[in-house]
Amino acid sequence: MTQKILRGRVLSFVAEPQGPEDTDSFVYHEDGALLIADGKILAMGPFDQVAPTAPSAAVVDHRPQLLMPGFIDLHLHFPQVQVVASWGSQLLDWLNNYTFPAELSFADAGHATRMATAFYDQLTGHGTTSAMAFCSVHETSAEAYFAEAARRNMCMIGGKVMMDRNAPDGLLDSPQSGYDASKALITKWHGQGRARYAISPRFAITSTPEQLEAAGALVTEHPECYVQTHLSENRDEIAFATSLYPEARDYLDIYEAAGLVTDKMFLGHAIHLEDREIAAMAERGAHPVFCPTSNLFLGSGLFDQGGLKARGIQSGIATDIGAGTSYSMLQTLNEGYKVLQLQGQALHPYQAFHWITRGNALTLGLAHEIGTLDAGSAADVVVLDAAATSAMALRMEASKTLAEELFVLMMMGDDRAVAQTYVAGIAQK
Ligand code: GUN
Ligand code: ZN
């Protein structure tokens, strides 16, 4: 068994930070070590304690850089890598004018495969080692997505979108074909290596009631799978969705009626919510996902993290590429911080870095594998350099604390601040 030690300043959370002074919420080793073998972390601790236990291990010295668990992105769209930065419209026009045309190309396996390579290069280049993504409606796109993740041994969650109306013909399945294709992909990929499947009805507008019922049947038959969709991102979207389902009490009720709302459900955006919807999400343990760069880019609105948290809801945080404007979870925190500032809610750097690591892992029920650097976890590690640019280096000259350094990283950092990313112990650059 070949062993390796990553040496550096090691930071990993053990609990949700309760505030800016909550230093009990993490472990931090100024001269730390991660002992790695077979893609897993065998030990985390001070270098002078870990190193003697593995005298033959090769040491990769990352000092003075910061080693953290790889970031987790809970909502993005694999077929939208060429949609990022498309100008001028809000959600429904943006989907029709930019997104649907781009997703049509993923029927072609060659295109999907080329984009999958580029997609994972972007993720790991930005320090993201796990994500939950939508593929296009075509099985080819899901095959490319999972095959490339398997090749890289990444813990990736995803699914082909189910959509059977209100989109171009080339993007439509049917209740039966969407069910059959999803079922076949679950059988092939869920639990294969590090992959997990997410049953993925795109949103109420692009699914008939029959299709949402078929998605509900998949949820019943495969309770081990996740569910991902969109909820209440934009006011025109809400009006359209609820007009298509006149019986529903509200938008979330459309999904509830189909049996989709469980603690394995992830609802992108969830901005403009009724009180009943919040209560139902809390009761069922469903997870709204905050997508700050996207919500600002499409002018969708401000996610009420504080309000949802006060109701006992555990929200995720995500880039939402391609309405999101950056693959970086650091830049996602930057914009998220500002969105919360506008609502008088302060996101402290400990809370922020907990959220994009252990916090997102907890919502997935995967904190034993990803999101921390605890022994037994996968060796998915990001190496961060808070002085990566001259502006950051200048600012860091005046930084005295770990919290300050983290704040510089989240406000000023992007892929340039990612010195290295390890997936299952393998360096990606
Ligand atoms: N709602 C339904 N589909 C999408 C999508 O692809 N992106 C965003 N931002 N919202 C959606
Ligand atoms: Zn989305």
The pLDDT of 192-209, averaged and rounded, is 98
126, 329 Cβ separation under 8 angstroms: yes
Is the CB of residue 103 below 6 angstroms from any atom belonging to ligand 1? Answer: no
CA 323, CA 97: separation in Å to the nearest integer? 13
pLDDT of residue 53 exceeding 90, the answer is: yes
Contact 202 CB / ligand 1 (< 6 Å): yes
3-state secondary structure of 303: coil
268 Cα nearest atom in ligand 1: 10
Name the closest-CA residue to atom 5, ligand 1.
95
pTM for the whole structure: 0.98
DSSP-assigned letter for residue 144? H
What is the tens place of the pLDDT at every residue in 57-91?
Answer: 999 999 999 999 999 999 999 999 999 999 999 99
Give 383's pLDDT tier (boundaries 50, 70, 90): very high
User: 378, 194 in Cβ contact below 8 A?
Assistant: yes
Phi, psi angles (nearest 5°) of residue 222: -130, 65
Supply 231's token pair.
């909820």
For ligand 1, atom 1, which residue shows the shortest CA distance?
230
Residue 327 carries which side chain, given as an amino acid letter? Y
- pLDDT band, residue 380 (cuts 50/70/90): very high
Taking the CA of 84 as reference, the closest ligand is 1
Ligand 1 site-directed mutation target among 74, 200, 203, most atoms within 8 Å of CB: 203
Q: What is the DSSP letter of 1?
A: -
Task: Determine the pLDDT at residue 261.
Answer: 98
- Residue 322: cis peptide before it, omega within 30 degrees of 0: yes
- φ and ψ at 75, to 5 degrees? -165, 110
122, pLDDT greater than 80:
yes
Query: How high does pLDDT run on average in the chain?
Result: 98
- Does the beta carbon of 241 sit less than 6 angstroms from any atom of ligand 1? no
Question: Does the pLDDT value for residue 292 go beyond 80?
Answer: yes
Residue 401 CA to ligand 1 center (angstroms) comes to 39
Task: Give the atom of ligand 1 at the shortest distance from the alpha carbon of 323.
Answer: 9
In this structure, which residue's CA is closest to atom 11 in ligand 1?
230
* All domains of the chain in start order, with CATH: 3-70+372-427 (2.30.40.10), 71-364 (3.20.20.140)
The stretch 381-395 carries a mean pLDDT of 98
Q: Mean per-residue pLDDT for 285-292?
A: 98
Output the CA 230–ligand 1 centroid distance in Å: 7
Residue 1 pLDDT greater than 80, yes or no: no
SS3 of 221-259:
HCCCCEEEEEECCCHHHHHHHHHHCCCCCCHHHHHHHCC
Q: Whose CA is nearest to atom 3 of ligand 1?
A: 202
> Rg of the Cα trace of the chain?
21
Neighbours of ion ligand 2 (CB under 5 A): 268
Nearest-5° Cα angle at 180, 286 to 196: 45
Q: What's the CA-to-centroid distance between 58 and ligand 2, angstroms?
A: 42
Amino acid making up residue 91:
L
Closest among 234, 267, 260 to 74, alpha carbons compared: 267
Q: How confident is the model at residue 268 (pLDDT cuts 50, 70, 90)?
A: very high
Q: For residues 73 and 360, what is the distance between their CA atoms, to the nearest angstrom?
A: 8
Q: Residue 318 CA: which ligand is closest? A: 2
Judged by its nearest atom, the ligand closest to the C-alpha of residue 271 is 1
Over residues 217-263, the pLDDT tens digits come to 999 999 999 999 999 999 999 999 999 999 999 999 999 999 999 99
User: Is residue 190 over pLDDT 90?
Assistant: yes
Q: Is the CB of 75 under 6 A from ligand 1?
A: no
Q: Are strands 58-69 and 381-384 parallel, antiparallel or unpaired?
A: antiparallel
Long-range Cβ pairs for the range 179-186 (8 Å, 24+) = 179/214, 179/215, 179/217, 179/218, 181/139, 182/215, 182/218, 183/218, 183/221, 184/139, 185/139, 185/142, 185/143, 185/146, 185/159, 185/160, 186/218, 186/222, 186/225
Pocket test residue of 103, 163, 230 for ligand 1, highest count of atoms within 8 A of CB: 230
Closest CA to 34 of 429, 428, 424: 424
pLDDT in tens, 396-405: 999 999 999 9
Q: Where are the alpha helices (H) located in 298-401, listed in sequence order?
A: 305-310, 329-341, 349-354, 360-364, 390-396
Q: Is 166 in the pocket of ligand 1 (CB under 6 A)?
A: no
- Calpha distance 68→60 (Å, rounded): 15
